[in-house]
Amino acid sequence: MPSQLFVSIVEIGCFFALIALGYLIVLYGAGFFHFALGPYAMFSALGAAYWVTASEWPLWVAVVAGVAAAVALSVVTELLVVRPIEKRVRGEELPSLIAVVATLFAVSQLAGTVFGRKPFPGQPWMDFEDPIEWGEAVIGGQTVIIVGVTLAIFILLAAWLRWSRYGQWLRAVGENQEAARTLGFPVARIRLAAFAVGGLIAGIAGPLFSPKAGVNFESGLSYSLFGFIALVMGGTGSIWAPLAGGLILAALQIAASYLFGSPSLNYATLIAAALFFAFRPEGLFARRVRH
């Protein structure tokens, strides 16, 4: 396989890994699969691109605004949608699932209404005059940024989970909200932190990756879906598991496209997901202790 494809695998893998990481954080802190993370990433990316091209903001301002928007959307979702519904239907999972799916759709439509329905190219954060050459492959500036930022986020988050107060609480709460509450944990604040951090990661991931593939208001659905698959493949046992899952999914998709043509990307993802769900739903890095 041409070495340029390996570069693509790393780029796409990092993107999926970040979305999956967002899922993992919200899963740890609120016991919830945040299906709406994809649209938050899209909103941030589309917003940044729109503000740079149509409003002529400097790139950094636009990206920060996009990230802030993603965090705001995630927090609002928790406060106005997920929390009231979970409070009303203790234990039943379906209403929250429906609500987050509706949120996914609503945020996509909001982006379409505010930023328009045309696709936008992303805005590179940095470009090399002379791209790095690696064998036959060419590594541009944005690629280096993607890898660098991804690793930085993972490392920072691992440290946050290990050493900060909220981080440690997050790990402790996990899926057992009730037990945590009776033990005196400030569950509401932990949840809020989890949703905010999840939104933050998604908000950074969007504009980070959009220079590579462009973005439109409907992109959020596949971001959410592929991020979820990456999470399932990697497992929930380690903070680094999403990285493994993201790279594996990206490798699968690119290999399938290369070998069988681009439609097979979706077929391959479907088959791999179905197999993982059926035979290894806990992923590669499963949690060691029963939860």
Partner 1 sequence: MRQGGSAWVEPIVTLALAIAAMAAVHGSPYLEAVALLTCTYAFIALGMYLPFIMGGALSMAYNAYLGVGAYALALIAGRSDWDLAWSLPIGMLIAAATAVLLGFATRRLSGFYLAAVTLLFGIAFTTWLVDAESVTGGSGGLQGLRVPVFAGRPLSNSTLVMLTILAVWIVALALSRLRNSPFGVAVRARRRAAIAVESCGIPVSTLTLVSLGLGAAVSSVGGSLFAVANHAILPESFAVDLVFLCIFMPLLGGQDRPWGAVLGAILVVTFTFQLTFFKETGSLFFSLAVLLVLVIAPRGVLGYVLIGLQKLWKGTRGGETRHG
Partner 2 sequence: MAEPSNMAEPSNMAEPSNMAEPSNMADVILECRGVNKAYGAVRAVNDVSLELRAGEVLGLVGPNGAGKTTLVDLIGGEQRPDSGAITALGRPLAGAPSRRARVNGLARTFQHPQVALDLTARENMLVGLAGPSLATLSGQLRELAAGIVGAGSRIERDAARGEVERVAAALGLKDIERECRELTLGELRLVEVGRALLTRPALMLLDEPFAGSDAHGVAGIRSAIAEILRNGCGVILVDHNVDIVASLAHRIALLNLGAKVFDGDPKACLASPEMQAVYFGEREAA
Interacting residue ranges for partner 2, rule: CB under 8 A: 288-290
Using CB under 8 A as the binding rule, whether residue 176 contacts partner 1 is answered as: no
Are 41 and 108 in contact by the 8 Å Cβ rule? The answer is: no
- Stretch touching partner 1 by CB under 8 A, among 7-15, 92-100, 122-130, 239-247: 92-100
| Angle, vertex CA 40, rays to CA 22 and CA 283, nearest 5 | 30
Are 22 and 198 in contact by the 8 Å Cβ rule? The answer is: yes
Pairing verdict, β 137-139 and 132-134: antiparallel
Using CB under 8 A as the binding rule, whether residue 109 contacts partner 1 is answered as: yes
Are 26 and 34 in contact by the 8 Å Cβ rule? The answer is: yes
3-30 and 37-53 helices cross at what angle (nearest 10)?
120
81 contacts: CB under 8 Å, gap ≥ 6: 99, 100, 103
Enclosing H/E stretch for 133: strand 132-134
- Stretch touching partner 1 by CB under 8 A, among 62-70, 200-208, 214-222, 237-245: 214-222
- Stretch touching partner 1 by CB under 8 A, among 10-18, 87-95, 156-164, 197-205: 87-95
Using CB under 8 A as the binding rule, whether residue 16 contacts partner 1 is answered as: no
- Stretch touching partner 1 by CB under 8 A, among 7-15, 77-85, 123-131, 151-159: 77-85
Using CB under 8 A as the binding rule, whether residue 15 contacts partner 1 is answered as: no
Q: Which residue has the tokens 């379409």?
A: 112
Q: Give the C-alpha separation, 46 to 162, whole Å.
A: 33
Choosing among partner 2, partner 1, none, which partner's interface includes residue 33 (Cβ < 5 to 8 Å by kind)?
Answer: partner 1
Question: In the complex, what is the shortest distance from the CB of residue 200 to partner 2, in angstroms, rounded to a whole number?
Answer: 33
Q: Give the C-alpha separation, 208 to 204, whole Å.
A: 6
- Stretch touching partner 1 by CB under 8 A, among 57-65, 107-115, 136-144, 243-251: 107-115
Using CB under 8 A as the binding rule, whether residue 236 contacts partner 1 is answered as: no
Q: Give the C-alpha separation, 145 to 128, whole Å.
A: 11
The pair of structure tokens assigned to 236 is: 């929930």
Choosing among partner 1, partner 2, none, which partner's interface includes residue 159 (Cβ < 5 to 8 Å by kind)?
Answer: none
- Closer by beta carbon to partner 1, 16 or else 35: 35
Residues in touch with partner 1 (CB under 8 A): 33, 35, 80-81, 84-85, 88, 91-95, 97-99, 101-103, 105-106, 109-110, 112-113, 218, 221-222, 225, 228-229, 232, 261, 263, 266-267, 269-270, 273-274, 277-278, 281
